[in-house]
Amino acid sequence: MKTEILQLLRESGEYISGQEICNRFGVSRTAIWKVMNQLKEEGYAVEAVPNKGYKLTCIPDVLSESEIKSRLHTKWLGQEVLCLLKEDSTNNRVKKMAEQGAEKGLLVIAEEQTAGKGRRGNSWSSPAGTSIFMSVLLRPDFLPEKASMLTLLAAMAVAKGIKEETGLEAKIKWPNDVVVNGKKICGILTEMSAEMDYINHVVVGIGINANMEELPAAIRETATSLLIEKKQLVSRASLLVKVIEHLERYYEIFIETEDLSRLHEEYNSQLVNRNVQVRVLDPKGDYTGYARGINAFGELLVEKDTGGLEKVYAGEVSVRGMYGYV
Ligand code: BTN
């Protein structure tokens, strides 16, 4: 009921009488008073004025189950939410829960990660309270070789969510980094448990540098945060919910064809390295060329400087800008 009352107060933005809340949810005045106290304890400011009712005057930047659920309009993604103060890694937590039978759509969020994981065995800086660290559980019934495309969907969802929430021009650096003003703002780590021809589960982990005032020195040259770029705090809950809603929508489009045929044009329109000269770090030998965009299978098409069009598969190679990260 706390979630529903929170949603009502936030969406109305006005005073709502205690009587109206009682009628709407069929509960007593005492029950409502208890919920208001719980909200206050969580950092919300609720004004109670005699003869007018209750009004929400301050929404804290918390990632709590009620805050997320009261904003989320999805069919299945994030319908089960677990918000943790501290966790080693939200990807690990989702993996464990998946092995214990959790259903597809589970969303785990942490305020802080003590062992945040990046791609290729790197760590992911995860200090408390200012970023978004979340992982979702998917149980697709397509072949394992298609799972890498899920990461591209997540990148699209993050870029779109950031644009809507902040107005910043978020772009994608193929395959799955989201960048703002040429610096990385989000990383995505997709992990899978599968047999040769069967996926048990996929965990998509997303880390967004939201309200960090500064980044660790080691990554300051190539990474940034929304606060640094926008010079304004962002509502993490609002952004998180937008990302989840877009991800569900993209996923549903994706599974209709099990490829990116209906999405690659939109992806390409967000691609920061489109028509940009890149260096492809290929174990078989590096080369340079112009990135032209992805095809329906998520491969990057690179027009080689020495001639010919190369299809670059994400798992095998890295793509770098000629003069830096992008
Ligand atoms: C990258 O290296 O770019 C990927 C970073 C992914 C970080 C996120 S934060 C939430 C989830 N939990 C983790 O341990 N990692 C991912």
| Res 316 pLDDT > 70 | no
Determine whether the shortest distance from the Cβ of 125 to ligand 1 is under 6 A.
no
Determine whether the shortest distance from the Cβ of 124 to ligand 1 is under 6 A.
yes
Once rounded to an integer, what is the mean pLDDT over residues 132-150? 97
- Can you give the three-state secondary structure of 67-83, one letter per residue? HHHCCCCCCCCCCCEEE
Whether the full predicted model's pTM is greater than 0.85, yes or no, is: yes
Length of the chain: 326
pLDDT in tens, 112-121: 999 999 998 9
Determine the pLDDT at residue 324.
74
CA of 206 to the centre of ligand 1 (A): 5
Sequence-distant (6+) residues with CB within 8 A of 143 are 197, 199
pLDDT in tens, 100-116: 999 999 999 999 999 99
pLDDT in tens, 181-221: 999 999 999 999 999 999 999 999 999 999 999 999 999 99
Determine the pLDDT at residue 42.
87
Determine the pLDDT at residue 196.
92
Locate the ligand 1 atom nearest the alpha carbon of residue 122 and give its number.
Answer: 2
Cα(85)–Cα(129) distance, integer angstroms: 9
Q: What percent of the chain has pLDDT over 70?
A: 99
Of 286, 271, 249, 305, which is closest to residue 175 (Cα–Cα)? 271
Determine the pLDDT at residue 114.
96
CA of 36 to the centre of ligand 1 (A): 35
| Res 248 pLDDT > 70 | yes
Determine the pLDDT at residue 129.
85
Determine whether the shortest distance from the Cβ of 90 to ligand 1 is under 6 A.
yes
Ligand 1 mutation pick, 174, 184, 206, max ligand atoms within 8 A of CB: 206
DSSP-derived secondary structure for 236-299: HHHHHHHHHHHHHHHHHHHHHHTSSTTTHHHHHHTBTTTT-EEEEE-TT--EEEEEEEE-TTSP
Question: Which residue type sits at 6?
Answer: L
Q: Are 263 and 156 in contact (CB under 8 A)?
A: yes
Provide the pLDDT confidence category of residue 70 given band limits of 50, 70 and 90.
very high
Provide the pLDDT confidence category of residue 228 given band limits of 50, 70 and 90.
very high
